[in-house]
Amino acid sequence: MPRVMAEEIMDDPGQSEGDFAAALDGLERLNKLTFAHAPLLRFLDRLVSEQGLRSLSLLDVGAGGGDALRAVARWGQRRGITLDLWGLDRSPWAERHAMASGTPAQWITCDLFDLPADRRFDVVTCSLFAHHLEDAALVRFLRWLPVHAERRWLILDLHRHWLPWAAVWAGTRLLRMHPMVTHDGPVSVMRGFDRADWGRLVAGAEVSATIRWILPFRWAVSGPGA
């Protein structure tokens, strides 16, 4: 099944703020139903345990409505970890939605490649955003991550496979989600990855990375900071 870079409605800047916000709400609902943030929290658990950390700065790239950052904030409270959380998204509506939803983070509204090289964080994460990028941009992003991560970086994204495609296609319709979500959800799966894709992209970027398949039909790609 080849990677199909069909257009996602959410990537169209001509969408209204109301539709964008409704889509973010729908995506947050999907993330809860699929336990999307559990691999991120396990990654952070391992990091703080292995390195004995009691504080952590974290940048989430493509942060959208901020639900991953809110999950990390709750994790930090449970673990007693002092957090300095940041979200990065090029849409100004993302920041407004995240702040209205109570996201305890500072925000950067820009294209990720416009972030100055001297802006560094302990951890840089990217949850379900990488599939929005074409292969050439993804290779550039893989090189970008160690530049901005002091300790570790992590990409979590979709496994391109007929089973999650069918589940997302049916689930978004049965749950009567916003039309943007019912369209973009299955498209996102088709823009996702298989192991060969990640092997090729990591090799092209010439970065050190570990590639792992995780439930439910996700890839976790992680590496050290520079």
Percentage of the chain with pLDDT > 90? 68
Beta bridge partners of 218: 158, 214
E-strand stretches of 32-139: 55-61, 82-89, 106-109, 121-127
How far apart CA 151 and CA 44 sit, in angstroms, is 11
Write down the pLDDT at residue 65: 92
Per-residue confidence band for 158, with pLDDT thresholds at 50, 70 and 90: very high
Per-residue confidence band for 138, with pLDDT thresholds at 50, 70 and 90: very high
Write down the pLDDT at residue 9: 67
- Cα dihedral across residues 112, 114, 117, 119: positive or negative: negative
**Residue 19, amino acid:** D
Q: Taking the domain 9-224, which CATH number applies? A: 3.40.50.150
Higher pLDDT, 82 or 175: 82
- Helix, strand, coil proportions of the chain in percent (round to 5)? 50, 20, 30
Which structure tokens are listed for 201?
A: 């992209």
State the Cα torsion 197-203-207-209 to the nearest 10°: 50
Write down the pLDDT at residue 226: 76
How far apart CA 64 and CA 19 sit, in angstroms, is 13
What are the domain boundaries of the chain?
9-224
Write down the pLDDT at residue 19: 75
**Residue 125, amino acid:** T
